């Protein structure tokens, strides 16, 4: 079972790696990309992460502040 303080990771279709130290997303969501994506691809990956979180993680959490409270750190490696 996923708890609020469980680390989560997702690799998106375009290869972007998105992770957070907490499943409830209370700390920054880190987005790692190995190339400079076009804005549309990066936004698609962020939307994919949100959909994945909602369908696979959200229902297991005891509390969640909402998707409008997420803070992102985008890093290019």
Per-residue pLDDT for the chain (77 aa), expressed as one digit of tens each? 799 999 999 999 988 999 999 999 999 999 998 766 567 788 899 999 999 999 999 999 999 999 999 999 998 87
Compute the distance between CA of residue 38 and CA of residue 23 in angstroms, rounded to an integer: 27
Query: Would the pTM of this model clear 0.75, i.e. be above it?
Result: yes
Q: Which two tokens stand for residue 52?
A: 């994945």
Question: How much is the pLDDT for 5?
Answer: 97
> 75 with 28: CB under 8 angstroms?
no
pLDDT of residue 36: 64
Q: What is the pLDDT of residue 34?
A: 73
- Phi/psi at 34 (nearest 5 deg)? -90, 0
């Amino acid at each position: 079972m996923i708890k609020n303080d469980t680390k989560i990771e997702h690799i998106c279709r375009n290869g972007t790696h998105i992770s957070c130290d907490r499943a409830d997303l209370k700390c920054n969501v880190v987005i790692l990309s190995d190339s400079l994506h076009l804005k549309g691809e990066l936004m698609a990956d962020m939307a994919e992460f949100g959909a994945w979180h909602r369908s696979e993680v959200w229902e297991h959490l005891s509390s969640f502040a909402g998707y409008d409270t997420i803070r992102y750190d985008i890093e290019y490696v």
